[in-house]
Structure 1
């Protein structure tokens, strides 16, 4: 199969589902984004993560290497983002978190699944969980000036990851009826997150577009370069390598906008980053996939 067609088959469902959410809102139909997001993050995504880890046949040593590479990558990106914000004299509360954290849930998980199969999804949920923990602690501190360890411990996706890792390590399995139930719940996560992404982008009012274009380009270059170096340093296999780079390179997450809105940062500037980086990813992610496949 030609490479271009293979990449199209991977990315087309992702952006078509996001497009459905975008058109849905533009047609004036109701979409309760808070309810859907809570349903996904509280129920379906934790089930998806748990079942994916429990049933994965990935070598635990490979998962450990990917976890360490992810921690190093996000640590280095955090340092680079802090340096960039300082040099450009940008507001830390507004710009640091969007430059660090990508949309590893809405975009990263489905792309990893379509590009690398169930094995890729198993790797992707590990990267997603590490990003989420860093976001709920350091990310919230950046925006709000306060830590949130308690919030991490209350997040179902964290417990889904820990339990999934435990079941993987011990080679345990839930009863078949329970596994089938959890799998069905988890299967709604990816379409829900993609449609919600389109809805969120449709409702945002971007600000500072020219600055957003520049920062989105810099974010993409930093994230790809640093994650690529981390993957090389930890000698990740082909799938883990591709998943790490793809996950870290995803555009600015809508949650960055929600946090800016909640804690009084410049939410319109963050909205500009979300919209611009997401539109940029329509061209950048297929190109990146073509390199990684």
Structure 2
């Protein structure tokens, strides 16, 4: 960014602000809603989003996206490689520093690619960015529903992933994309309306969940959150350059892989007996740090 004038810096700042402001303002609505004492059933809203909203969003985004086959497969391979590389790096770090893998490994690998990644990619890079973000989100979801749950629970069948509507929406959306098919206009409009509720609901729910969490061990959470941002960003960038992704695909890959710890990591830790308070600290701290980290990341690509 050497040689950029003051006006260009201001323009860049305003561009980034336009992208991140709606995301964090919607999450703030969730926080304020809880602080005012209003009822918000996170389990119901999350189920509604993940069963109807998100699958409809994934399917319609893939069906309508303009990604060619070569770029699509490059993005798929790059995303898979990035998550495998991140897993290996964190596994080595955990072995060296003797950290509890059941508690910390999955949260550091799997970021908030749905609640934060999808809207950020859409606002920053438009429909093209949304298409790439959906691909990364879907792959991360499959990986987290299999390997991630196995890590936290200490076992379980990978076939559980087949019960997730998001997986079938991804497969169908990918098929329609590759074949150039489309649903009838009335069905597309209906699915698009259902999908449009997913992003605002996920962001408000994120704010509600953050407001209700009770974090523990903040210093460790800060250290691990900084490590997550650095490792995930650098690995995703290196992998994206290796696969020679086009600029928008590269930016979305870095953005998605480096998103903060997801609230679902806390829910899984609580369900399977991991240290839920420690994971809550990671969720809160990493999300707060993302307020600074995400604009810096976007500034490199916008």
In the aligned structure 2, how far is the partner of 1:18 from the partner of 1:140?
Answer: 26
Look up the SS of the partner of 2:251 in the other structure.
Answer: helix
Which residue does 1:5 correspond to in 2? Answer: 14
User: Could you list the per-position Cα deviations for residues 174-214 of structure 1 after superposition, in whole angstroms to 9, with x for gaps in the alignment?
Assistant: 00000000000000000000000000000000000000000
| Gaps in structure 1 of 5+ consecutive residues | none
The equivalent residue for 1:177 is 186
Give 1:87 shift: 1.4
Aligned partner of 2:154 among 110, 121, 145: 145
Is 2:276 the partner of 1:248? Answer: no
Of 222, 230, 244, 1:221 maps to 230
How many correspondences in the alignment?
Answer: 293
| One of 129, 150, 166 as aligned partner of 1:157 | 166
C-alpha displacement of 1:140: 0.6
1:67 aligned residue (66, 71, 76): 76
Deviation at 1:120, TM superposition (A): 0.5
Residue-by-residue CA offset, 1:56-94 (whole Å, 9 max, x unaligned)? 111111010000000000001001111111111111100
Deviations 1:240-261 (A, max 9, x none): 0000000011000001100000
Alpha-carbon separation, structure 2, partners of 1:188 and 1:151: 26
1-side partners of 2:66 and 2:284: how far apart? Answer: 37
What is the CA deviation profile of residues 104-135 of structure 1, one whole-angstrom value per residue up to 9, with x for unaligned ones? 00000000000000110011000001100110
Q: Conserved in 2, the CA contact under 8 Å of 1:67 and 1:126?
A: yes
Q: In structure 2, which of residues 68, 74, 86 is the aligned counterpart of residue 77 of structure 1?
A: 86
Q: Determine the structure 1 residue equivalent to 2:301.
A: 292
CA separation in 1, counterparts of 2:57 and 2:247?
A: 23
Q: CA deviation at 1:151?
A: 1.7
Q: Does 1:126 align with 2:120?
A: no
Are residues 1:57 and 2:76 paired?
A: no
- How high is the TM-score relative to the length of structure 2? 0.96
Residue 5 of structure 2 corresponds to none
Query: Distance in 1 between the 2:191 and 2:49 partners?
Result: 13
Runs of 5+ in structure 2 lacking a partner?
A: 1-7
**Contact 1:138–1:147, Cα closer than 8 Å, also in 2:** no
Match of residue 24 from structure 1: 33
Quote the Cα distance in structure 1 between the aligned partners of 2:107 and 2:157.
Answer: 18
SS, match of residue 276 in structure 1: helix
* RMSD between superposed Cα atoms in Å: 0.8
Runs of 4+ in 1 over 4 A off after TM superposition: none
CA distance in 1, matches of 2:209, 2:108: 19
Is the contact made by 2:52 and 2:194 (CA closer than 8 Å) also made in structure 1? yes
CA contact (8 A) 1:140 1:148 kept: no
Match of 1:270 in 2: 279
Counterpart for residue 124 of structure 2:
115
